[in-house]
Amino acid sequence: ILVFAEHQTAGRRGLRGFLTRHQAWLFFPLTTLEGIALKVYGIQALLAKDGPCRTRRERLVEGALLLAHFAGYATLLLALLTPAQALVFALLHQMLLGVHLGMAFAPNHKGMDRPDEHEDGDSWGHLRRQVLTSRNIRGGALTDWFLGGLNYQVEHHLFPSMPRPNLRLAQPAVRAHCAALGVPYTETGFVDSYRQALGHLHEVGAPLRSEAAE
């Protein structure tokens, strides 16, 4: 639904065009659907022949875990609430989950540099590719908790298997290494990160707004 580069706006008309023109304003309302969308994607991935579950055993295990999750979730709600209350609670819960996920994901890459924007982009090594395309969010323990460690996005991409509590410990060494190599290391505040991300989404939709105005 959202697009993050101007070339992706080509040919978007009707509802898609409307969403792209106003995507910066619609970003947070649209994230209310993300929690539900992730569950749909999980089921689609389970059923897809070329999905992440390659073997019959993997499909059975993944399917059993999904079924247990849905059954446990529904059982808990229905044991404590009436069916109508359970439905309203589940809907609100999933909407808030989507907003939380959107707030954790949005600041990290939107509006950052991209290799395809540079002639030498193909020659970017792992360090430059991960550092230049990522944005860290400054903050203390509350920011770490709210963003789940994804506020150390540079370190997360450089060391994807590193436990998230250790990302903040690796940050000083990564920042110093980037400074020594002259690689820009981007870090900004919590609110400013959303200003930059939403500003980029607004800028991407500009060509379609110009077309609509004509």
**Average confidence (pLDDT) over 152-169:** 93
User: Which H or E run contains 137?
Assistant: strand 136-137
In this prediction, residue 10 has a pLDDT band, given cuts at 50, 70 and 90, of confident
pLDDT at position 214 is: 65
Alpha carbon of residue 35 to chain centroid: 12
Please state, in angstroms and rounded to a whole number, the distance separating the CA atoms of residues 178 and 181: 5
pLDDT at position 152 is: 95
In this prediction, residue 169 has a pLDDT band, given cuts at 50, 70 and 90, of very high
Which of residues 120 and 159 earns the better pLDDT score? Answer: 159
Tokens of 115: 């290799």
Q: What share of the chain is helix, strand, coil (3-state, %, to 5)?
A: 70, 0, 25
What pTM, to 2 d.p., does this model score?
Answer: 0.78
Please state, in angstroms and rounded to a whole number, the distance separating the CA atoms of residues 129 and 122: 10
**Average confidence (pLDDT) over 51-69:** 89
Q: Closest by alpha carbon to 106, among 194, 3, 6, 1?
A: 194
3-state secondary structure of 54: coil
Question: Is the pLDDT score of 138 beyond 70?
Answer: yes
pLDDT in tens, 23-59: 999 999 999 999 999 999 999 988 888 878 778 888 8
3-state secondary structure of 136: strand
Please state, in angstroms and rounded to a whole number, the distance separating the CA atoms of residues 36 and 163: 27
Please state, in angstroms and rounded to a whole number, the distance separating the CA atoms of residues 181 and 120: 17
Question: Is the pLDDT score of 71 beyond 90?
Answer: yes
Question: Is the pLDDT score of 115 beyond 90?
Answer: no
pLDDT in tens, 78-114: 999 999 999 999 999 999 999 999 888 888 888 788 8
**Neighbouring residues of 153: CB distance < 8 A, sequence distance ≥ 6:** 108, 109, 134, 135, 136, 137
